[in-house]
Amino acid sequence: MLSRIPGLEAKPWVKPPIGFSKDEVYIIKKGYIDGFKEKDIVIKKSSREEVVLEAINFEWLQSFCKVPKIYRYGMVGCEFYCMMEFLPGVMFQELLKSYPKEQVIQKYASLIRQFHEIDPSGLPHNHSLEQKIKQVEQSIKDKTINPSHFEKELKGWSIDAVYQKLLEYLPTQEDLVLCHGDVCMPNIMMNGLELVGYIDIVGIGVCDRYLDIAIGLRSLRYNLEAYGYRFDDDVIELFIKEYGICELDKDKVYLYILLDELTVG
């Protein structure tokens, strides 16, 4: 129960409209936390320690980019929780309602690149590719992966088939940067073309930049098509040009899409 979290009065709450996380996420408007009266807040709680590790990483990131302020985190009973600032604005994909498609694509690529330019030295909790593979293997063992969420190209594949294909594409070399880990459009909050903040960094780590590029392109495809636009080679070219790469490594894109399909939370 939310009432078990220290310092929180019972207030009406809602759940976010988008998300596949196994964690419980609540939005509370004008909630009350000791020392933070009348704040709009987000509460994440879970049996997984990652909720607290994410909060610690958010605190570190505040010196480098715009992210929610962390109010409190800890453990109650057998559950971990985090209270953080509720960021105003709209999810990035909603810019497609008001701005030219090309401008939205360029802004999205630039914000991903901007995140990658952060110096990762001192990152408290790092989710490397090796750690992510171990998490996938544990998720397979625990049977917590839902194949109904697989991309349309992977519909009908077994979890083991996707995992084996993932292993075939593991890179021999990595171009390491600080990756967000789930840089899909709903995880970037905007006020017009101004960044309000990055959210949901549970998968943050020092990884190949293609981890975020692949997820970015997938999110771009999904949202462009949802708004009636085509996702074609011109879109990809505009995205990678703005990001700053000359030629797309399609094998790495495929690898990190497979990895994301098998990642829980």
d(CA 245, CA 248): 7
Tokens of 63: 């010196």
Nearest Cα neighbor of 84 from 18, 40, 30 is: 40
- Residue 38's pLDDT is 74
Angle formed at CA 68 by CA 185 and CA 196, multiple of 5 degrees: 50
- Residue 63's pLDDT is 96
- Residue 148's pLDDT is 87
Nearest Cα neighbor of 12 from 34, 52, 41, 48 is: 41
- Return the CA Rg of the chain: 19
Nearest Cα neighbor of 7 from 24, 31, 23 is: 31
d(CA 197, CA 182): 14
Q: Which helix (H) or strand (E) holds 134?
A: helix 129-142
- Residue 75's pLDDT is 92
In the chain the domains, ranked by start, together with CATH numbers, are: 2-85 (3.30.200.20), 90-261 (3.90.1200.10)
User: Around Cβ 149, how many Cβ atoms within 10 Å?
Assistant: 10
For the chain, the 3-state helix, strand and coil shares in percent, each to the nearest 5, are: 40, 20, 40
pTM, entire model: 0.92
Mean pLDDT for each consecutive 10-residue tract of the chain (265 residues)? 62 64 78 69 90 97 97 91 94 98 98 98 95 94 91 92 97 95 97 98 96 98 97 98 97 96 81
CB-CB contact of 65 with 115 (8 Å)? yes
d(CA 262, CA 149): 10
Q: For 5, which DSSP code?
A: S
Nearest Cα neighbor of 114 from 185, 202, 203, 209 is: 209
d(CA 153, CA 123): 35
212 dihedral zone (left: phi>0; alpha: psi -120 to 50; beta): alpha
Tokens of 248: 């797309």
